[in-house]
Structure 1
């Protein structure tokens, strides 16, 4: 096999082709090859790029992820578009991994994602390929074993961090102080986002670059109702198993009821039941459906859902008019 040196990123305000910003282009190219290679899955059909498509801001447009042998997961595929800019301190909807380098390895051995038996199978596939062996040895010279999990994670992480080179309309509005980059409707939407709509409490529209997340965990009122009657037994089972890292991911991917427990699966703290990580809103108009279980099909419905649930949390109605919701959507489309 020939190791292709490709660069896929974002430029000119659209998700597509570009040269990656980080300087280590060899490592990024190696990471991209891993990201695009379906041979690294159990059935030879699934690659990282199957669930992370550039036209969907590196989500996949499905309600939940679909992996090897057509197996469906329990969680919506999170966008990768913001990782290089948002300064994330945890990964996956429940935050079970504190670093990207840990997170990128988990899908290979998740039974409903890429489905390999264990990490050794992944390494054996790579080591048996002459082109991969040469590329890893060139990038990591002086090592007796050039293909290791650490090196695989480094390459994939470098590539993923290179993905978002897009400058959005809101980025230009903030950095260039150019009012013309946002429509009048979107500018009104920003006012609502930061004020009456209370969106900025969790999706903070500041920083450089703009992260649009508070890196925290919140309840959205989605999904937990389906398991409330069985909550005592369900939570007790999670506590007794006390899984960690990869094992948590493998479990929630195959058990829809436990998936709804969110952050609790990681901390086993009752206060975290139904709590999920705040995603960045970069490219949010492209990442439907929404929420951790993909149960909200459109951006308009996501806005309605958030307004309703924030009203419940605040103990008072937010009362956004139809026009204000349209303005808010226009702002979200500029992110």
Structure 2
């Protein structure tokens, strides 16, 4: 008779136990935007370069290296479940990123032993590949990570690794995937899920219900001006809960024989800075920069470019800052809204009377 599988019992803790618990400090897996136990969604249209970037991040995590200004705090073991790429293509991409130093500062010995690739095309066609919507497969993946002592997992991509997902536009269809991601969080595993863009190329495909599970949402969109190389895109963070800094501003990335080239995406930065300025919530450039997670020189350059285009002009920028300061002073004055208006002086009337 087959023994029945017994699940671990649910646990609770009192307020006293919670307050007495000593938690280890949370570390950055990718500084400054992804920490241990968090999950990230990276989305892009076909051929933009999402697998190139994700593979670069995986190699940095495994080897304790960096991709541009994004750095792994230390080497960690990574499991990559790839649902569609040819194994030979995978090999060529890893070599290319190493040869061009697209991923820099890696410890090769750590990198060689810290990544475990599980490509679908490498399997026997009679084998059952992972389906992250399937509960048994979720347990298989977690068991494999525990066996390999993997701290991070990359799913590339959602469509090819979730055969049981019937309708991407239905919120209920994503419950099984959300369950998988929650299991990763409970096990303190960091997860990166790669997904396709919608038809308009402005957001991830499918129901927005999935977004609630992710701490980070990173979109890769085609640049307005095409760039030569293996990959080219503009990075836009729709969501992040990490420390954040100027490196999270929209940037134009391109990959060539010289590795990754990353430049400030002027149009995106200009739009964000001007939109924030026009809210009248910030009284100077320093406040504006802090609120947007940009450096002050970046904000200054954006306002200069905007002024050169005439929207808004330099004098208009200063006028908006002055207006913001006036509004803030009024908010701090408890009698600002109740004070009686000053007596109006009519033209042609002697003020002495």
TM-score (norm 1): 0.27
Q: Which has the higher helix share?
A: 1
Q: Which has the higher strand share?
A: 2
Higher RCO, 1 or 2 (CA under 8 Å, sep at least 6)?
A: 1
TM-score (norm 2): 0.26
